[in-house]
Amino acid sequence: MGNGQSAMVLGLLLPIVHCPLPAQDTTASGVRIGITYAPGTRPALAVVQYTEPGLDSIGVILARDLDHSDRFEMVPAQDAAGFVVSLAADGPGRVTVSLQDARTGQVSLRRPIPTGAGLRAATHAVADEIVRVAFGQPGIASSALLFVRNGRIWRVDADGHGARELRTAGSPALSPAWAPDGRSFAYTAYVRSGQPIVVQDLASGARRVLDGTEYGLNITPAFSPDGRRIAFARGLESGTDVYVSSVAGGEPQRLTSGRGDNLSPVWSPDGSRIAFISTRPGSPQLYVMNADGTGQEVLARFDFGATGTTSAPAWSPDGQLIAFHREVGGVPQVFVLDPSRGSLRQITGSGRNEDPSWAPDGRHLVFASTRAGGRDLQVVDLETGRTRQLTHLRGARLPAWSPRLASGVDR
Amino acid sequence: MIRRAMGNGQWAMVIAGALLLGGCPRPQTAPAPAPMDSTAIRDSLAAAARRDSLARAARADSIARARQDSIARAVAASRPDSVRAEVQRDSVTASSPMASGLPAAEDQLLALPLYFETDRSDLTAESRALLDNKLELLRRYPRLAIQIEGHCDERGPDEYNLALGNRRAATVKRYLVDRGIADERVSIVSYGEERPAVAGNSEEAWSRNRRAEFRVTRAAR
């Protein structure tokens, strides 16, 4: 985005921020900048659809992205009660998207989209901007997911478009984990002479072995929030334990020891804590420790011999919640734990549901599910419970949702 | 801990002491008991506690030593340059199995998988019997080196199954090494549920997939 464009967008946004719209009620808890709605209801939004080439695909992509944000009541254009997104061809190779309040006529966002190669990415970025203008926090249409299929790492856009296998090392390649800047990812690669953690650049494909993972079975990598360290589990003859290694190099530091296997470490967003799975009580359960390995304790309560196997923790972006899966009657289901309240919420109930990962907006979860037949990825909105199938590949699993991706990151 | 460290005799002594101190209605008329007072009890408890803490330290020591040993062995067996080079290649399918150089009957014996119970890594009686035969074979062909692959059925969590498969492979290796097979002849790996032997989601398929497999890494001759 050029500076001129930034200035234009800012120019449009500033009046909204500083001059409340007439209808805005700043006391209602559901209010966000720009749009008023009662708590529990969603603002109506219409995306005008066009038949002209270029405009038609942008309209469809925008409508789907905004629908998948689960924040709007999507309505037909003629019923436009709340907000209307319209498009205008400004000349060759450029379309302008406008977000307009249907009642006041005020335009609260106007963004150009270049038609051509970057159309999809630019359209997703505008959809996220519309969500940001409406709710103060951008949408997730520009994000992407990594997952495993047939022992290979795949990538798919958050709207399910463009699923493709990446060129990676190893067979199988497992457990992809995003770097916090979204530019690289780590995974386990089974090569002939070992099972190292590999760090791979998304754009260039350049790979290297994480120092100290040349020996042993190195699994379940997770980047620290500052991107400088990777926690992972290493299996040796004595068992499996959690280690932390600096991405820049150096000897890994062991964080767990003693009875049982320890694996699947994930960092809290502030970097101070690591949740992990331990078999020390006899079956795999959820534990937490300080990032230096001290203060290890049970995180999700369980009853010996009664509570099902617990696995695959994922810390929410705001640090408040931890998702994981736990067997209920022998069938894995996704749960969300709120440690500060001690409350546990079961999210899924149909089919086998495993390996949750948080969207960067902290309200959507992706998980692998058998509810549609083979294992495929499903996305659930935790606020409405609405679920959509992301992949139709029969065999997609171990998903990892990206952080927010800056423009220019490989897609 | 105290209970484990103290033998039955010690408990009997403590109980006897307690009875003597508190349970005798007429101590004056009783024959003088064997000298046993509260100091002696305290001493014996303290000695037991000392023995216990020494035993604990020894156990911790041996766990730490075992881990250091297994790290050292893994490092010694590793080929870091090969790992780094192989990672630069795009995913290649696994190498074709190496020929064992064994006579057909023994080749088949070596290739027989061991099976495990659900979510267990200990050896069944059947597995031990089979493993004893493989042990003899490894003794007969001292040049032969193998990799033990741990595998799981599809039911457990994917990532936990990697650790479970690792434990299965490690159990099999320990059985062989404890009976005299040189450590460097046996390596381990786990594939978790990534490489099922049998497709399907029946108990029959699962039971065939909870297994350890044996790959030749150095031919018998």
Strand order in the sheet with A273-278: A262-267, A273-278, A285-290, A297-298
Is the confidence at residue B8, as pLDDT, over 50? no
HSE at residue B179, side-chain half, CA atoms within 13 A, is 15
Q: Residue A172 and residue B194: Cβ atoms within 8 Å?
A: yes
Put simply, the chain A residues between 130 and 149 with a CB less than 8 A from any chain B CB are none
Res. A275: pLDDT tops 60: yes
For residue B201, what is the nearest residue in chain A, using CA coordinates? A374
Question: In chain B, positions 31-60, which contact chain A (CB-CB < 8 Å)?
Answer: none
CA-CA distance, B112 to B119, in Å (whole number)? 21
In chain B, domain spans: 2-25+32-74, 104-218
Q: What is the mean pLDDT of chain B?
A: 82
Of A194, A233, A264, the CB nearest to B78: A194
Asked if A258's CB is within 8 angstroms of B83's CB, the reply is no
The A residues from 172 to 191 touching B (CB cutoff 8 Å) are: 172-175, 189-191
B97 CB contacts (<8 Å, ≥6 apart)?
B215, B216
Per-residue model confidence (pLDDT) at position A407:
61
Using CB atoms within 10 Å of the CB of residue B29, give its burial: 0 to 12 exposed, 13 to 18 middle, 19+ buried. Answer: exposed
Given CB atoms, is B158 within the 8 Å cutoff of chain A? yes
Residue in A with minimal Cα distance to B175: A237
pLDDT digits (tens, 9 = 90+) for A105-149: 899 999 999 888 889 999 999 999 999 999 999 999 999 999 999
CA dist list (Å): A134 to A36, A101, B5, B217: 9, 11, 68, 62
- Given the candidates 3.40.50, 3.30.360, 3.90.660, 3.20.20, the CATH classification of the domain at A3-135 is 3.40.50
pLDDT tens track for B19-64: 333 333 333 444 444 444 556 666 766 777 777 777 777 776 777 7
Burial B83-122 (b: 16+ CB within 10 A, else e): bbebbeeebeeeeeeeebebeeebeebbeebbbbeebebe
Three-state DSSP state, B131: helix
Q: Residue A77: pLDDT band by 50, 70, 90 thresholds?
A: confident
What residue type is assigned to position A42 of the chain? Answer: R
- Residues A90-94 have a mean pLDDT of 84
| Mean pLDDT rounded to a whole number for chain A | 88
Measured between beta carbons, the chain A residues lying within 8 angstroms of B92 are 171, 192
Query: Which of A32-46, A250-264, A349-363 is predicted with the least confidence, judged by mean pLDDT?
Result: A32-46
Q: Which residue has the higher pLDDT, B28 or A52?
A: A52
| Residue A111 in tokens | 């963004």
Q: What is the CATH number of domain B104-218?
A: 3.30.1330.60
> Is the confidence at residue A20, as pLDDT, over 90?
no
Residue B173 at interface with chain A, using a CB cutoff of 8 Å = yes
What are the extents of the domains in chain A?
A: 3-135, 144-401
Q: Which CATH number describes the domain made up of A144-401? A: 2.120.10.30
Q: How far apart are the first and last CA of chain B?
A: 52
What is the 3-class SS of chain A, one letter each residue? CCHHHHHHHHHHHHHHHHCCCCCCCCCCCCCECCECCCCCCCCEEEECCCCCCCHHHHHHHHHHHHHHCCCCEECCHHHCCCEEEEEEECCCCEEEEEEEECCCCCEEEEEEEECCCCHHHHHHHHHHHHHHHHHCCCCCCCCEEEEEECCEEEEEECCCCCCEECCCCCCCEEEEEECCCCCEEEEEECECCEECEEEEECCCCCEEECCCCCCCEEEEEEECCCCCEEEEEEEECCEEEEEEEECCCCCCEECCCCCCCEEEEEECCCCCEEEEEECCCCCCEEEEEECCCCCCEECCCCCCCCCCCEEEEEECCCCCCEEEEEEECCEEEEEEEECCCCEEEECCCCCCEEEEEECCCCCEEEEEECCCCCCEEEEEECCCCCEEECCCCCCEEEEEECCCCCCCCCC
